[in-house]
Chain A
Amino acid sequence: MKPCLTRRALTAALAGGLASCQRSEPAKFAGTSPVAVLRAKNYQQDLTETILEGIRLCGLAVKDKRILLKPNLVEFDAATAINTDVAVVAAALAAFRSLGAASVTIAEGPGHRRDTLGLADEAGYWKGIRGFEDHFVDLNRDDVSPVKNFASEKQFFLPNTALGADLIVSIPKMKTHHWAGATLSMKNFFGLVPGAVYGWPKNTLHYLGIDNSIVALNRQFRRTFAIVDGIVGMEGNGPIQGKAKSAGLLVFGQDLVAVDSTCCRIMGIDPGKIGYLQQAADLGAIDPQQIHQRGENPLALRNDFELIPEFASVRLAKGG
């Protein structure tokens, strides 16, 4: 028999109670943000053109910038869809180069696996990106510098490659997440935290609070763009043990809060009920009235992702 009060529920309730005692409502974001949703049926089509179109629709300036492409590499399981597909990363590399970026680096610091290059190999990155190792930085073992006032930490260490980038392009997989509800472009920044300092997994982030850490990372890194791989995402018990879910789209934008809110609506999740989006309400647009949707209409593309029972309450109302 399932207990009526679970440890997870109690912890969440305590954390929520504490947070509501400590925090005042964050100031609301006042501007508007463009977000583009483009169809992409599969990984075999010309994704470079689609990505160039997404960049154009969002008005992103790329020329002479040092670009860091941040995919989501977690673990490899051929039976499901855990990692950002290499075709999307390869296409992003080609697109940003063609737009005159000063440099384009692929960088990631997986949360569990120490062998980042081996994981990238399993996920097809060595095969799918010519000279992969020449373009790649293992953020887990990059040199680091301190930043001040990160979440409740007075000092926190982050990789120099990320701190020195002019633009961080978050390229996550569109997935549900058994702790955060959904893992998209903002949560993908967990991979910027160096394992060499904080371990595998980066357990410090759990102690700081997953939502707090996601928002702290997004406060730190503000020059951003997102390309969400929603061609095939993951539903259910994500981010690792869920099931592959075809959604057939890519989502773009500079405002990661707006991008993730749009992705949530497509996935049938109410972004207003996702903790880290609530906390980031001053950083970007959650309200659809403040999001200038370009390309496809996300409401027409709604494709409910299965949720684990603990997150049933975040389901977006029909027509929401």
Chain B
Amino acid sequence: MALKFSVRSSDILHMAEDYLRSRLDALRSNQNPDGGWGYFPGKRSWLEPTAYALLALYGEADSPAWQKGWRLLRSWQRDDGAWQPNGHIPEPHWSTALAVTLHAVHRVHDDAFRKGVSWLLSLSGAESRPLVRLFSLVLPSPTGHDPSFRGWPWRPEATSWIEPTAHALVALKRAAPQVRDAELSRRIVLGEGMILRRRCSDGGWNYGSKSALGIDLPSYPETTALALLGLQGNRDADLTAALRHAFHLWQDSRSRWSRAWLAISLRSFGTDLPVEPSEQPVARDLVLNALEVLAAPEGGFRHFRPEGIPS
């Protein structure tokens, strides 16, 4: 899906440099004293913004600042292998998938990494529990979901949704070369099946279902992007129309959050996109800053790619 640029390539490089530098500077200057990042400047450190910031700043992984963030993130792992969302909430959390992805990117395949993978493999949406599945045989779910296709919830005891499932798939696919486990392969197949079965009639993905009370739901840009990321490497599904839809969403979306996720996803699939305008101001939202770095042509979108998939 090649696009033509209307400016010289040297200008593009210059624009991209300014764009990236401003966002990376914002991330560096908003690192908390504990080494992590909050969702917004001056706020407590959470795993999600910390993981994205560490991925965005991965070119500086040897720096003391990066290492401090890495140590903080590692310290939030629980005994059961899950990560908690920050230092104050002692509960297992979906963002374990981000921690596992970061370990895979950093090539740290130690016990912490393996326990994180095991926890992800032990988790699935509440709709997959035997009693609930039995119930669904008597009275099929109004969503039409097949509970045998096990996805991932935001937190244990809840049902599965597109976004946490996509993040878990990215993490498990990144982890796969190091974890030879039949269950891992099986969960990837089931998770992909869950995503593929929830595709909306417009070609993309909503956050959870393709319809509600018999009415088709529209897809969202950010969940479409994430669903596609989760499906990377799937050889059976024809994603051409979904990628085309994602590209149109990218063209039409004003939301920087959506555009960043779509660019990460589309670039991961090899789509050539123009750079974002360099005059775009740096956001206060630190996750958005990190995503915009990861979405840039030379950014870290490759961190979300399973190894072994050619560019």
Contacts and interface: CB of A to CB of B under 8 A. Distances in A.
Interface of A: 5-8, 10, 112-115, 117-118, 121-122, 133, 138, 141-144, 157, 178, 196-201, 203-204, 206-207, 237, 241, 308
A14 B51 CA distance: 42
Contacts of B88: 144
Interface string B6-40: 00000000000000000000000000000000111
A210 B286 CA distance: 32
A157 B157 CA distance: 16
A241 B215 contact: yes
A143 B284 contact: no
Contact of A241 (B89, B142, B212): B212
22 contacts: A6-B142, A113-B222, A114-B222, A114-B257, A115-B222, A117-B257, A118-B254, A118-B256, A121-B255, A122-B254, A122-B255, A133-B284, A138-B39, A141-B287, A143-B44, A197-B155, A198-B154, A199-B153, A199-B155, A200-B154, A200-B161, A201-B208
A237 B140 contact: no
Nearest to A202: B154
A135 to B, nearest CB: 13
B85 A203 contact: no
A201 B207 contact: yes
A196 B140 contact: no
Contacts, number: 93
Contacts of A133: 284
Interface of B: 38-40, 43-44, 46, 48, 85, 88-89, 91, 93-94, 126, 139-142, 153-155, 157-159, 161, 163-164, 207-208, 212-213, 215, 220, 222, 254-258, 284-285, 287
A199 B164 contact: yes
A141 B45 CA distance: 11
A19 B141 CA distance: 23
Shortest beta-carbon contacts, A-B, top 3: A199-B154, A118-B255, A115-B257
B158 A203 contact: yes
Given A114-B222, A133-B284, A196-B48, 11 more contacts: A6-B139, A7-B140, A7-B142, A118-B254, A118-B257, A118-B258, A141-B46, A142-B43, A196-B85, A197-B93, A204-B157
Given A115-B257, A203-B161, A237 B222 contact: no
A273 to B, nearest CB: 20
Contacts of B212: 241
A154 to B, nearest CB: 12
Contacts of A206: 158
A115 B287 CA distance: 11
B153 A203 contact: yes
Contacts of A308: 213
A90 B186 CA distance: 52
Contacts of A199: 94, 153-155, 158, 161, 164
Nearest to B215: A241
Nearest to A195: B154
B255 A115 contact: yes
Given A178-B213, A199-B94, A204-B158, A8 B164 contact: no
A7 B141 contact: yes
A277 to B, nearest CB: 23
A78 to B, nearest CB: 12
B161 A197 contact: no
A65 B220 CA distance: 38
Nearest to B40: A141
A264 B290 CA distance: 45
A10 B215 CA distance: 21
B26 to A, nearest CB: 15
A201 B161 contact: yes
A122 B140 CA distance: 36
Contact of B207 (A121, A143, A200): A200
Contacts of B284: 133
Contacts of A6: 139, 142
Contacts of A7: 139-142
Given A118-B256, A143-B38, A8 B142 contact: yes
A293 B189 CA distance: 60
Nearest to B206: A112
B42 to A, nearest CB: 10
A113 B140 CA distance: 27
Contacts of A117: 257, 285
A204 B155 contact: yes
A115 B254 contact: no
A246 to B, nearest CB: 23
A207 B158 contact: yes
Nearest to B256: A118
